[in-house]
Amino acid sequence: MSVKTITILLVLLLSITALSIIPNTALAQVITEVQHSPSEPNPTHNITILAIGTSSSANVSVNWFDGVSTRSVEMYFASYSNKWWGDLPSFPEGARIEYWITVINDNVTIERYPGEGNYSFVVIPATIPDLKIREDSFSMDPDPDIVDVSNEDRVSIRMSIDNIGWVDAVGVTVEVYDNGEFLHNEFIDSINARYYRTFSFWWSPTEGEHNITVEIDPYNGVSEFNENNNQIYRTVSINTSCFLHTEDFTTTRTVLNGEYHTYKFEPGDRYVDLEFKINNGKADFYVLTESQYSDYQFLYAESFQFTKMSHNTDSFNWFEKPDKTYYVIVDNADISESGASPITDLSYDVSLVLDERDDIPIKQAIGLLVVVGAVIGVMLVVRKFEKKKPPEYDPQTIQENIKIDR
């Protein structure tokens, strides 16, 4: 094959590659985000479509399908906000409207938003409320990963209930279930239209997996537009392998063969004095930062970095004033080739002392000075004693001196 032929083929290949990426590139240069407002319109609203972008040189339009036909309107660019604006008409109650964006940029036409496909909304009534759980509001404190059941830790469960409808909701009941068993009931007197209410409650979990179900208005006491968005489900695992202690303690625990225990410490003003003593064997101990702990868990943990380590030992002590989050690991899982080989479940004593005083380093320095001073004092006493001791003479030397005097 000649050089000329190879060159032509390369040019064609590069051209095809360039053409294949132009559309996405062109669209990415123009549109970065698409929104509609209001998010849950009712039949009285016109809907505004906003296409947020970085260039005003393109022609942008919004298209929509109402279940019967497709229509479109041209969007106009507002330079002060870097947004294209397009207005859709009002739609009847219950209508589901799909819409997408068309961009013509540098003679390249691209439809829809990259990677997202069609956008859509449902037109809700203007006369009744619509309740739903704000999914990103569901939270637990402390995190289930650090709940110590043996220490009778409690968890605060918190969530928000949205009224996305256009009228107030009155007398809202929320029920929470744990593995199908009733856990909590919350009564909310009212939730204003287009607003939300937040509540929380305490939970004392047991070890194991928990399927948490939250249901709004379980007895249909509130007339809503959509009754199918009233539940959320969360699976929560509670175990005793990770501990977060905020007070001094001394206890005995057992780490199972092939497993590990984690002690988590947040940055703060207190010094941590953590001490372990294995009662029936040996283990490996690691002190890890957050990123090191993630690697340790993910790799389980054939290769990971650590801040401090002690292999194949029956005792370990960590004394530190944490400036970041640290994890102290009691490892009975045979992770390192040079470490202890797990043979059985290990019983160990663990104690923690948290000292809020900031003078520990000063005290340590004073203690060192006292020790050094004591050593110097002993040396001075010894020297003084040696000076008072009469000189020792060799008899042979005395005899020679007498002869010389004669």
pLDDT tens track for 167-199:
999 999 999 999 999 999 999 999 999 999 999
The pLDDT tens digits for 309-365 are 998 999 999 999 999 989 999 998 865 666 677 888 999 999 999 887 655 555 556
Q: How many CB atoms sit inside 10 A of residue 178's CB?
A: 17
Confidence of residue 59 (pLDDT cuts 50, 70, 90): confident
Task: Report yes or no: 108 and 22 within 8 Å, Cβ to Cβ.
Answer: yes
Distance CA 91, CA 337 (A): 68
Task: Please tell me the distance from the alpha carbon of residue 50 to that of residue 73, in angstroms, as a whole number.
Answer: 13
Residue 60: burial class (beta carbons within 10 Å; 0-12, 13-18, 19+)? buried
* 83-125 confidence digits (pLDDT tens): 899 999 999 998 989 898 888 877 777 776 544 556 888 999 9
Cα 36 to chain centroid, rounded: 30
Domains located in the chain, CATH noted: 12-122 (2.60.40.10), 131-236 (2.60.40.10), 242-355 (2.60.120.680)
pLDDT of residue 13 exceeding 60, the answer is no
